[in-house]
Amino acid sequence: MSNANLQYQQKSERLADAFRVFNELSENLALSYQGLQEQVAHLNRQLAAAHSERLNTLIEKERLANRLQQILAALPAAVVVLDERGRVVDCNNHAIDFLGEPLLGLPWHEIMARSLFLIADSPHERRLKDGRVVSLTLNHLSNDAEQIILLSDISELRDLQDSLAQQKHLSAMGEMVASLAHQIRTPLATAILYASQWGQPNVPEFKRRQFSAKILERLHYLERQVNDMLIFAKQGRLAMQGFSWHGMLQPVAESMESFDGAFMLDNRVEEQTVLGNEDALRGALLNLLNNAIESGADVISLQAIQLGQDIEITIQDNGPGIDAAAVAKLFEPFYTTKVHGTGLGLAVVDSVVKAHGGRVECRSETGRGCCFTLTLPIAQGQLSLSLSGINRALREEDHETV
């Protein structure tokens, strides 16, 4: 074979190889393109599904948001949302009805000062301008930056509670009258008996003095019962005026001079003049002291000290003490451990202390005596009253009737 033919054959073979490679590359490219088309179609299907799912989610969220908005608008309470700076960022229509406008963008403390007024002895309740009473609840949202405030109208509930309390008080008054009639009958009969003997001409003088002392003792007892009844009937509403703290304690000390045991009075109160009901406070102290004497105690102490903004009175005795079950019921009206008691004494003590904005506690164990602690707040050098007690006292000081 000549060189020319050989070269031609070689070129033909190389060209055939080139076409074969080209065909293989074309087939591979076609297969790759087909695979790419399939991947694009698959991705398009995934994207369409994701878009559809997201669209459904958005529709569901919008429906839920509308639902929540309807619920928020229909809530029978005011809802206020505050941002991290304490400013109102959202509220419902009840909030506008309760608090008035403007609300959005204002600091919450300004709105409270403008539209919500404190109620004595009710830290979680406020009074609106129109007289309605609302409960106030505050919670942090999940991000701990924003806060949500809920105001619920509890005016009807308060009215029902007041009506129930009045019905209970009237029922207690009926029980008290029945009990008091029994408690008065015996000492009154005794006083009448001594008085009838006292008038006999042949009675020796020392007997007359004994009869006079017995009559006076019974009359003092009747006076205490009647005073307890009157204070209980007033539900702690007492007329208040300035009086000498030291002068109030002096008759208490004098009344204990006839006590056969040891009585110690330790007055460390610096205030000279305080605001309150002198007779009621003195009666409360005498009530506690008489209870200690009647329990059989022979050592009784009364200490009054000034602790910051409080006057703390402690009456302690070495009597037989009271068990825990009885301590829990001591201040309930008509509860008594005495055979001939009315159960009003300690209820009156509790009522008097609360009327002065204070509190009374009892600590006791059987066989270890008893300790009563009366805590009375001081404001600007004067014994303070709860706001409701002051308002009632001002209204009823000259017009109270029972």
The pLDDT value recorded for residue 285 is: 92
**Residue in 83, 92, 71 with CA at minimum distance from that of residue 151:** 92
Return d(Cα 142, Cα 191) in angstroms, integer.
73
Return d(Cα 154, Cα 127) in angstroms, integer.
10
Q: Which two tokens stand for residue 296?
A: 């059989």
Residues of the chain by 3-state class (helix, strand, coil), percent to 5: 55, 20, 25
Q: Per CATH, the architecture of 236-402 is what?
A: 2-Layer Sandwich (3.30)
CATH topology of domain 75-153: Beta-Lactamase (3.30.450)
The pLDDT value recorded for residue 1 is: 56
The pLDDT value recorded for residue 304 is: 93
* pLDDT per residue rounded down to tens, the chain (402 residues): 567 777 777 777 777 777 788 788 888 888 888 888 888 888 888 888 888 888 888 888 777 767 766 666 666 788 888 888 889 888 888 888 888 888 888 998 888 888 888 876 677 888 888 888 888 888 887 766 788 888 888 888 777 877 887 777 667 666 666 666 656 666 777 777 777 777 677 778 777 777 787 787 777 777 766 766 666 665 556 677 888 888 889 989 988 888 888 999 999 988 778 888 888 888 889 889 988 998 889 899 999 998 877 899 999 999 998 888 888 777 776 656 554 555 677 888 888 888 888 899 999 888 889 999 999 886 433 444 333 333 333 343 334 333
The pLDDT value recorded for residue 120 is: 66
The pLDDT value recorded for residue 402 is: 31
The pLDDT value recorded for residue 175 is: 65
Return d(Cα 350, Cα 232) in angstroms, integer.
10
The pLDDT value recorded for residue 137 is: 85
Q: Span 156-233: which CATH code?
A: 1.10.287.130
Q: Return the number of other C-beta atoms located less than 10 Å from residue 31's C-beta.
A: 10
Helices (H) and strands (E) counted in the chain, each on its own, are 10, 14
Does residue 315 sit in helix, strand or coil?
strand
Return d(Cα 336, Cα 342) in angstroms, integer.
7
The pLDDT value recorded for residue 340 is: 53
Torsion angle defined by CA atoms of residues 248, 254, 258 and 260, in that order, rounded to the nearest 10 degrees: 70
- Per-position DSSP letters for 244-261, written without gaps between them: EHHHHHHHHHHHTTT-SS
The pLDDT value recorded for residue 156 is: 81
CA 90 to chain centre: 29
